[in-house]
Chains A and B, each alone.
Chain A
């Protein structure tokens, strides 16, 4: 599975394909539930790092992704869709 595909898997809570990689929103915030806290932390870090890579060179399709089998029994809960600041043209906020 590609990095983008891994991000798409996390975002959509369903298996992703190489096509999904091209449409996946870049992600840097990930929350996971796992049987052991260390398991969730490891998986969270792996997914987040993969997503940052994906957003930096989007669309990325060739970078190896962490194997889902390395973090069994995980369930994705939330995925804030956040992209690198440099990707924006502008930011809307209350007056600054």
Chain B
């Protein structure tokens, strides 16, 4: 097994190929370059990125590159399956909440001023975004800007895994969003791609959101994807427009309010056949809160989830046992 670790998209990245061949070594060395190109295309923090240029041209049809088109399609799908709870149209609200610079800059600064509580008008609905696959063009409603955030990160993990998997079973971890590719493994009638040789599982840890250097759970996964969404990272303190408002904000917005989600779920980890499904489900469960969120998870038999609540409770969906009760090899 060979691996490479590096920083990209303001996250720690990891790529693993279950092979000792030199071809795998060569391929892994290329992965940081792939992520740099994707970041240049998809980052809202780079003024010259393809995404930033699209955001400057709302109200008209704009031709975009294949990667940006693909991520926008994924973001719209995430919005569809989450009934709009995971929306790409929240950039204005994110910036009003204070997330107006890369998190590396945000984390190093003093509390910032924000008008998050000013209650400005919500952005246009994701349903008003139009895409044309034949001409590879995108139409954003006037005044709408996109933030592809976690969707882009997950998409990149899955893309990299797809590129590498001809050399052996592959795992790519993009800041905690983990995609696996390899042989097909079946969980019941659900196909999970990414199985290693001899049906050996990938051992993956779920970090404890209360103690970031400790492990809450271990799951053994034979394919598919894992994503964690939480309020424990990417949060910042703001000084609001009110006299004494000095509060913590986080980056998971509830599109129904335009504010950081007011939820009892501190972090949500979801295992799913595809990365975008895991990513969307984790955010949805977090935004909905423990009761409604877990019910939503249980309504989808191809999902398994662990929710960690503010009070320390850990809730596991019924399918999570499929990943925790196996023999260690």
Q: Does A77 contact B (CB under 8 A)?
A: no
Q: Pick the contact of B202 from A25, A81, A90, A96 — CB < 8 Å?
A: A90
Q: Does A83 contact B (CB under 8 A)?
A: yes
Q: B324 touching A81 by the CB < 8 A rule?
A: yes
The A-contacting residues of B in range 154-186, CB under 8 angstroms, are 171, 173, 175-178
Q: Does B118 contact A (CB under 8 A)?
A: no
Q: Does A91 contact B (CB under 8 A)?
A: yes
1/0 contact trace for B247-266 toward A, CB 8 Å? 00000000000000000000
Q: B227 touching A92 by the CB < 8 A rule?
A: yes
1/0 contact trace for A85-96 toward B, CB 8 Å? 101111111111
Q: B233 touching A89 by the CB < 8 A rule?
A: no
The B-contacting residues of A in range 50-96, CB under 8 angstroms, are 58-59, 80-83, 85, 87-96
Q: A92 touching B215 by the CB < 8 A rule?
A: no
Q: Which residue of A lies closest to B250 (CB)?
A: A94
CA distance A59 to B326 in the complex (A): 13
Q: Report A-chain residues with C-beta under 8 Å of the C-beta of B234.
A: 94-95
CA distance A80 to B10 in the complex (A): 31
1/0 contact trace for B208-223 toward A, CB 8 Å? 0100101111100000
Q: A82 touching B233 by the CB < 8 A rule?
A: no
Q: Pick the contact of B205 from A80, A91, A95 — CB < 8 Å?
A: A91
Q: Interface extent on B, as a size class? A: 35 or more
Q: Does A26 contact B (CB under 8 A)?
A: yes
Q: Report B-chain residues with C-beta under 8 Å of the C-beta of A89.
A: 1, 16, 171, 202-204
Q: A93 touching B202 by the CB < 8 A rule?
A: no
CA distance A96 to B107 in the complex (A): 12
How near does chain B come to A93, taking the closest CB pair, in angstroms? 4
CA distance A88 to B204 in the complex (A): 5
Known: A58-B328, A87-B203, A90-B205. Contact between A95 and B214, CB under 8 A? no
Q: B215 touching A83 by the CB < 8 A rule?
A: yes
CA distance A91 to B324 in the complex (A): 15
Known: A81-B217, A82-B218. Contact between A93 and B207, CB under 8 A? yes
**Interface hub of A23, A80, A89, A94 (most chain B Cβ within 10 A):** A94
The B-contacting residues of A in range 12-46, CB under 8 angstroms, are 22-23, 25-26
How near does chain A come to B163, taking the closest CB pair, in angstroms? 18
Q: B178 touching A95 by the CB < 8 A rule?
A: no
Q: Pick the contact of A92 from B1, B207, B212, B324 — CB < 8 Å?
A: B207
Q: Which residue of B lies closest to A54 (CB)?
A: B328
Q: B204 touching A91 by the CB < 8 A rule?
A: yes
How near does chain B come to A86, taking the closest CB pair, in angstroms? 10
CA distance A62 to B212 in the complex (A): 34
- A-B residue pairs, 6 tightest by C-beta: A94-B230, A93-B207, A95-B175, A93-B176, A90-B173, A88-B205
Supply 25 A–B pairs (Cβ within 8 Å), ascending by A: A81-B218, A81-B324, A83-B203, A83-B215, A85-B205, A85-B215, A87-B218, A89-B16, A89-B203, A89-B204, A91-B173, A91-B207, A92-B176, A92-B178, A92-B206, A92-B228, A93-B209, A93-B212, A94-B176, A94-B209, A94-B228, A95-B10, A95-B176, A96-B12, A96-B233
Chain A residues within CB distance 8 Å of chain B: 22-23, 25-26, 58-59, 80-83, 85, 87-96
